[in-house]
Amino acid sequence: MTSSSPYQYVIPTGLVVPDTSQTLTQVQQEWETAFGADLIVTPDTPQGVMITAETLARNNVINNNAAVANQINPNIAGGVFLDAILALTGVQREAQTPTVVPNVTVTGVVGTTIPQGVQAKTSAGDIFRSTSTVVIPSGGTTTVNFQAVEYGPVACAINALNTIVTAVIGWETVDNSTAGTLGTTTQSDAAARAFRQNTLAFQGLSLAEAITSALYAVPGVTSLIFQENVAGTTSVINSITMGSHSVYACVEGGTDNDVAAALLENKSSGAGWNGSTTVSVLEPASGQTYSVKFDRPAQIGILIRATVKNVSTDAATQALLDYANGVIPGVAGFVVGASVSPFELAGAIITENPGAYVSSCTISQISPVSFSVSQIPIAVNQIAITSLSNITITQA
């Protein structure tokens, strides 16, 4: 790029982001062209200060252009730009949800009306509101669902929702015998990009990619395995016995009805299903009721032992849980049919804690217990799981 065309940073092959030193040289040349080649342009001169300011301003524009241009790339885009790209294939990122506490017990004077929206709080001070209006019946006790005022994973343990906030004459106590179902935060850009990759064929039908896209678009579905038997005879594929001309899906997450509806809507006409979960689904177009089959993955408990240094025990443990739950950007974690690798687990600790050192990492199934550095194979109808109590971190 020459000094005669310093602003041509957008060219047919893309966007040019020059080094700051190149931009500085261009600005200096422009000043020397205007005021003479003998102009002193070092930073300790008044003109040098102005040249530096112009260089920084120009670089800010260049970097801004690069950031905007990258929003066209679905593998880099974020925010509203990524939302627009998701919309091209008819999907959207998962919205945040509140924690829901079902069947909260409320007591009071018989006949008292407790309106929808009244508030109670937990011992931690988190505010929840009722989702419907209830009337205290004879006996003085009834139940109503509450949900957190703030969206996201607001914890509510058993018996924690016990303080009335909204004063209602006749309403005396509130208590929950069931822990709340944690809410979720808005799907992150990294998670949304992965979601897009899994749902690229959402608008298609019949093809394997279209079926998996439809399944991933079901609310709550986190991972799955899909395969088909195109042969005219019963076949065993990846240890799964499949009928002739049939499909098989093993799905983690989502309700049975939603998963079955997605399979019915998107499979090839005439193809059968396989699996141990059966759901009756009405096809509106034909009026037929189909028995849709699929599998839920069997959970394989995993024990993890790691020896670390330059990282706290809590931070290392959290990194392993984050890996298992698939919240580390670009890492799938424990998903249906994915083997468990101690090397990937060690990598998760280092990824979340730069500078950490993992001297050893071994894994084992819960039963039988046999720790090693070898991968643990997970079948297509299984999923690995772990928990805080299954992780042991030792400081080196």
Q: Which amino acid is at 291?
A: S
The dihedral formed by the CA atoms of 127, 133, 138 and 140, expressed in degrees to the nearest 10: 10
Cis peptide bond prior to 368, omega within 30° of 0 = yes
Does the pLDDT value for residue 239 go beyond 70? yes
Neighbours of 135 (CB within 10 A): 12
Maximum average pLDDT range among 74-88, 159-173, 267-281, 317-331: 159-173
Q: Which long-range contacts (CB under 8 A, 24 or more apart) does 253-256 make?
A: 253/218, 253/220, 253/221, 253/222, 253/223, 254/215, 254/218, 254/219, 254/220, 254/221, 255/218, 255/220
Q: What does DSSP assign to residue 340?
A: B
Q: Give the pLDDT score at 3.
A: 41
Q: Give the pLDDT score at 389.
A: 92
The torsion region of residue 386 among left (phi > 0), alpha (psi -120 to 50) and beta comes to: beta
Q: Give the pLDDT score at 13.
A: 67
Is the domain of 328 the same as that of 364?
yes
Tell me whether residue 92 is in a domain.
no
pLDDT digits (tens, 9 = 90+) for 243-266: 998 999 999 998 999 999 988 888
Q: Give the pLDDT score at 202.
A: 53
Q: How much of the chain, in percent, has pLDDT values that exceed 90?
A: 54
Is the domain of 59 the same as that of 140?
no
SS3 (DSSP) at 157: coil
Least confident among 84-93, 113-122, 311-320, 324-333: 84-93
Tell me whether residue 313 is in a domain.
yes
Radius of gyration over alpha carbons of the chain, in Å?
29
SS3 (DSSP) at 117: coil
Q: How much of the chain, in percent, has pLDDT values that exceed 70?
A: 93
Give 200's pLDDT tier (boundaries 50, 70, 90).
Answer: low
Is the domain of 347 the same as that of 381?
yes
The residue written with tokens 């240890």 in the block is 239
Which one of 294, 329, 362 terminates a domain?
A: 294
Q: Give the DSSP H or E segment for 351.
A: helix 342-352
Q: Give the pLDDT score at 192.
A: 78
pLDDT digits (tens, 9 = 90+) for 107-160: 999 999 999 999 999 989 999 999 999 999 999 999 999 999 999 889 898 999
Separation of alpha carbons 308 and 243, rounded Å: 49
Q: Which amino acid is at 258?
A: D
Is the domain of 327 the same as that of 380?
yes
Is the domain of 43 the same as that of 116?
no
Is the domain of 157 the same as that of 170?
yes
Residues 6+ apart with CB under 8 A from 53: none
Least confident among 177-186, 316-325, 349-358: 177-186
Tell me whether residue 219 is in a domain.
yes
Mean pLDDT of the chain: 87
Q: Give the pLDDT score at 9.
A: 65
Does the pLDDT value for residue 2 go beyond 70? no
Q: Give the pLDDT score at 269.
A: 63
Separation of alpha carbons 227 and 233, rounded Å: 15
- Residue span of the structural domain in which 262 resides: 199-294
Q: Give the pLDDT score at 4.
A: 42
The pTM assigned to this predicted structure is 0.58
Is the domain of 29 the same as that of 64?
yes
- For 226-260, give one letter per residue: b (16+ CB within 10 A) or e: bbbbeeeeeeeeeebebbeebbbbbbbbbeeebbb
User: In 3D, which of 175, 141, 171 has the Cα closest to residue 157?
Assistant: 175
The tokens describing 387, both together, are 């928990």
Q: Give the pLDDT score at 382.
A: 95
Does the pLDDT value for residue 62 go beyond 90? no
Is the domain of 326 the same as that of 245?
no
Tell me whether residue 303 is in a domain.
yes
Name the domain count of the chain: 4
Mean pLDDT of 78-90: 81
Q: Give the pLDDT score at 191.
A: 77
Is the domain of 336 the same as that of 386?
yes
